Structure 1
Amino acid sequence: MSQRAKETFTTAPAPTPAALRARIRGLGASMTRSAQIVAEAVAADPAGCSRLTVTALAERTGTSEATVVRTARLLGYPGYRDLRLALAALAGRQESDEAPAVTAGIAVDDPLADVVAKLAHEEAQTLADTAAALDLAQLSAAVDALATARRIDIYGVGASALVGQDLAQKLLRIGLIAHAHHDPHLAVTNSVLLRPGDVAVAVTHSGATGDVIDPLRHAFERGATTIAVTGGPASPVTHYADLVLATSAARESRLRPAAMSSRTSQLLVVDCLFVGVAQRTYDTAAPALAASYEALAPRHRATAPRTARQEPRT
């Protein structure tokens, strides 16, 4: 998260166990193996770890004190003391209705019925993880910024470009000025024209896509409110983001690249943004939606089935 954002937002309160586990899953790819061991330990036993000193937790996990402190910061806490307080709060909630995540990779020879079942499970888990980890304060601030924006630019490439286009067309239908840019050159040339009162949204699962980071940086430097929708809450794109909306993704496999699973969580965030903005601007959004539905209605009406063309008799 950018320094500008850090000056505005304080550390979030203790997450639910589901949110903590979702955050750890989301950070997994960017963590060192030793940090993953510490993170998995605190997620598996928050009550026990909350009673351990930094030295004791390092000994339990076979890591170092520096790794424990670094892991706490990766999870969003200023230091290990803050993480301990959060873990104690988690233990006090005594939430027991959560089943551990099940990872079911798709094999080349899986029957189609198994493929459907596994994909359905992974999609559901991805959505649940994203919802649990989504920072509602950041989401609310993003909704406010979009609802009052003079202009909205959205940047994304590849699969994330499709998500950006989805957000843009949704906002356009409620009367907002929104443009999705998947061409890196157009993204940069538009971003340098932004100013305070405008909003720039970067959609990138990795958080390290240069073609998305560059225009967001230009927008940030020109005073626009910047939002990152990313699976990397500590990734480079967040250095230029006032607001970070973290997404989750199911585990990648040979037959299911990250672009597929990440798009599911990104689309959930897009829908949350859109509904929130529509609620805040209901007086203008409702008539705009009604007008767009009315304009499209003739194109959606079913026509009478055509009769088969009779061949001429010879």
Structure 2
Amino acid sequence: MTDSVPHTRCGFVAIIGAPNAGKSTLVNRLVGTKVSIVTQKVQTTRFPVRGIAMDGDCQMVLVDTPGIFKPRRRLDRAMVASAWGGAHDADCIVLLIDAAAQLAVRHPGTDVKATAADHKAVEDVEMIIEGLKANDTKAILALNKIDLMKRDNLLAVTDELFKTGVFEDVLMISAEKGSGVADLKTLLGKRMPEGPWLYPEDQAADAPVRILAAEITREKLFLRVHEELPYAAAVVTTEFKDLPDGSARIEQTIFVERDGQRAIVLGKSGQTLKWIGQKSREDLAKLLDRPVHLFLHVQVSEKWSDDRSLYTQFGLEYDS
């Protein structure tokens, strides 16, 4: 008589899509905790955050890729190359699409008025679908933000997208509300190959804590100054020290390109930076489960986006 050996499964899931489709929100929902930043700005995910989701005996490593769009700058090219790289290396691909944007552009007769951002999102989705076709790659279609649509309109959009021939399954979800996400998780679990888990069951992400800490502060930065500050900002954790009392001392530098942007980040009498620090400190304390002493500095560096070391830190290819 032989002892039964439990079978486990483990694999990688790439979640791709146009900027602002809701990829980070979906990853956080699947994992059950925040592992990727969510702001009002598109293109905020700059490197593939690996969130770890569990479903019974199955472990899914979720790669929240940067949004795929037409690149213009070096950083843009690196982000898009990273997104496609994550897709090519995965056991399963989920293409997350903003259903409301598709409806507004493809069915202008409805009561949803298309914005410039909607048109851009549809163009990006078409480019992604062509990329999947060119590589003879199948994906799961996840139509997001269904809570904003009527059922008849949703079915029309679904039918049009499925006819492209690149999708093997279609699910309708709301990453923000949670609708349909459990069904997606179950489907993904079934697609994972048999094999040992790569991470402990209670681990939520595999990004180094220094990078996660920097991303949390960058999220607060954009939440506070998303209207005034463009994408010309980066956050780097310059010191992470465990203190004898069990707390952590973290120093971070916020890089901006111009003196005017530095003034925006600081705010009147330093109040904006103080707010960013307070909110980031609260999230970091929850993440690390211990008190955090956070010190933020703002530095002007006109060409920070050409700094090779920053690309290396975030796992991006400088020469993409």
TM-score, length basis structure 2: 0.33
Which structure shows the higher helix fraction? Answer: 1
Please identify which structure carries the higher strand content: 2
Whichever of the two has the greater Rg, that structure is 1
**Structure 1 length normalisation: TM-score?**
0.33
